[in-house]
Amino acid sequence: MTGNSVASRIRLNDATVAQLLAKAGVDPTVLAQVPVNVGLIARTQRATPITSIKREDLPVDGLLLPNPQGFTISVNRGHSEERQRFSLAHEVAHAILSPRNPAFRNGSKHIRSSERDCESFASMLLMPNPAFTDFVRDYGPSLATITRLANTFKTSIRATAIRFVDVIGQLGVPCILILSQLSCQTSGRRLRVQWAHQNTLKPDGRPEFFIPSNKSVGFKSAYAAFGNDAVHAAREMVELGNLRVRTQTESVAFGRGSNRFVVTLVYPDAKHESQHSVDHIKTEK
Ligand SMILES: [Zn+2]
pLDDT in tens, 65-76: 999 999 999 999
How many A from CA of 271 to the centre of ligand 1?
A: 40
90: left (phi over 0), alpha (psi -120 to 50) or beta: alpha
How many A from CA of 227 to the centre of ligand 1?
A: 37
Q: Where in the chain is the domain with CATH 3.30.450.130?
A: 173-283
Would you place residue 101 in the very low, low, confident or very high pLDDT band (cuts 50, 70, 90)?
confident
Contacts of 207 (CB under 8 A, 6+ apart): 198, 200, 201
How many A from CA of 111 to the centre of ligand 1?
A: 14
How many A from CA of 94 to the centre of ligand 1?
A: 7
pLDDT in tens, 174-189: 999 999 998 876 667 8
Instruction: Please tell me the least confidently modeled range out of 132-141, 177-186, 211-220.
Output: 177-186
How many A from CA of 88 to the centre of ligand 1?
A: 10
One-character DSSP codes across 111-144:
B---HHHHHHHHHHHHS-TTHHHHHHHHH-SSHH
- Between helix 131-139 and helix 157-170 the angle, nearest 10°, is 80
How many A from CA of 115 to the centre of ligand 1?
A: 5
Structurally, what CATH architecture does the domain formed by 14-126 represent? Orthogonal Bundle (1.10)
pLDDT in tens, 140-164: 889 999 999 999 999 998 899 999 9
Look at 105 and 98; give whichever has higher pLDDT: 98
Q: Where in the chain is the domain with CATH 1.10.10?
A: 14-126
pLDDT in tens, 111-123: 566 898 999 999 9
pLDDT in tens, 33-62: 999 999 999 999 999 999 999 999 999 999
CB–CB of 22/28 below 8 Å? yes
Measured at the CA of 218, the angle between CA 215 and CA 221, to 5 degrees, comes to 130
Question: Model's pTM, two decimal places?
Answer: 0.84
Q: Is 148 exposed, middle or buried (0-12, 13-18, 19+ CB in 10 A)?
A: middle
pLDDT at 63 over 70: yes
Structurally, what CATH architecture does the domain formed by 173-283 represent? 2-Layer Sandwich (3.30)
